């Protein structure tokens, strides 16, 4: 059984976690985050919505590094949903440019911290500049061995399932051959473990079409605070709550 590293060998977030009673050997392998409330946060502060998204991406950098340093293996974040195209054109265009610029600006930090960048969603439908920036991040960090950071862009959980079914039909599978395992194997990132913990900000109590197949049995933790106010304390509280729950996966646990 692995032993907890000595305090002298722990980084600051690990020390803080242990002080809160968090078991570093019982962390979720895969954390997913719905980063909600950027626009509302900006409006509350008298700013344009896009400035809220810009502040949110700065917060994401810290959350990613926190997850990496505490020992989480996979982090997937909902950056732009397939439904977000319905928003005003100026906001959508601004978000596309913001994600592209962030992908370029943060690549050096990602690579330096051994982060492996990944993307999920219908990437082929994105603007060419954004697509090129994301592909560059994937290629540059492909040999890294640290946390796998997946950006869900133009992503929808239902669309992912539809695409998986289309792949199965194209491959010639008969209806009686279709199983849950087979569908799982044809999702966008079939080699990633299913998320153990889903974090949502801004108080909304819904899945919003995010990883709805993979997240069927993950634990949900919601904070009323909007994403730009998310902090290390929020992450640690989510992890502590996760460890205090009993995951039953539909079974009865005595």
Catalytic residue among 11, 23, 36, 154: 36
Distance CA 88, CA 50 (A): 11
In DSSP terms, 80 is beta-bridged to 153
Judge whether 244 counts as a catalytic residue: no
Judge whether 38 counts as a catalytic residue: no
Handedness of CA 234, 237, 238, 239 (dihedral sign): positive
Catalytic residue among 11, 45, 66, 84: 84
Q: What are phi and psi of 235, to 5 degrees?
A: -60, -45
Q: In terms of C-beta density within 10 A (0-12 exposed, 13-18 middle, 19 or more buried), how is residue 229 classed?
A: middle
Tokens of 47: 């700013």
Neighbours of 249 (CB within 10 A): 7
Q: What is the four-CA torsion angle of 92, 98, 100, 105, rounded to 10 degrees?
A: -170
Catalytically annotated residues: 36, 84
């Amino acid at each position: 059984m692995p032993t907890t590293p000595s305090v002298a060998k722990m980084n600051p977030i690990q020390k803080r976690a242990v002080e809160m009673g968090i078991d570093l050997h019982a962390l979720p392998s895969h954390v997913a985050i719905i980063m909600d409330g950027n626009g509302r946060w900006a409006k509350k502060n008298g700013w344009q919505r896009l400035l809220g998204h810009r502040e949110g991406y700065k917060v994401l950098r810290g959350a990613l590094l926190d997850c990496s340093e505490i020992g989480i293996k996979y982090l997937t974040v909902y950056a732009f949903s397939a439904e977000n195209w319905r928003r005003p054109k100026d906001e959508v265009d601004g978000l596309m440019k913001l994600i592209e610029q962030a992908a370029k600006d943060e690549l050096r930090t990602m690579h330096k911290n051994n982060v492996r960048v990944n993307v999920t969603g219908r990437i082929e439908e994105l603007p060419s500049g954004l697509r090129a920036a994301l592909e560059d991040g994937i290629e540059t960090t492909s040999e890294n061995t640290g946390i796998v950071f997946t950006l869900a862009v133009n992503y929808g959980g239902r669309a992912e399932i539809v695409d998986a079914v289309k792949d199965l039909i194209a491959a010639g599978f008969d209806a009686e051959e279709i199983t849950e395992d087979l569908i799982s194997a044809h999702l966008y990132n079939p080699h990633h473990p299913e998320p153990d913990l889903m974090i949502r900000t801004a108080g909304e109590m819904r899945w919003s079409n995010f990883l709805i197949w993979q997240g069927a049995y993950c634990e949900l933790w919601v904070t009323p605070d909007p994403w730009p106010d998310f902090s290390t304390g929020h992450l640690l509280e989510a992890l502590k709550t996760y460890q205090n729950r009993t995951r039953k996966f539909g079974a009865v646990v005595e």
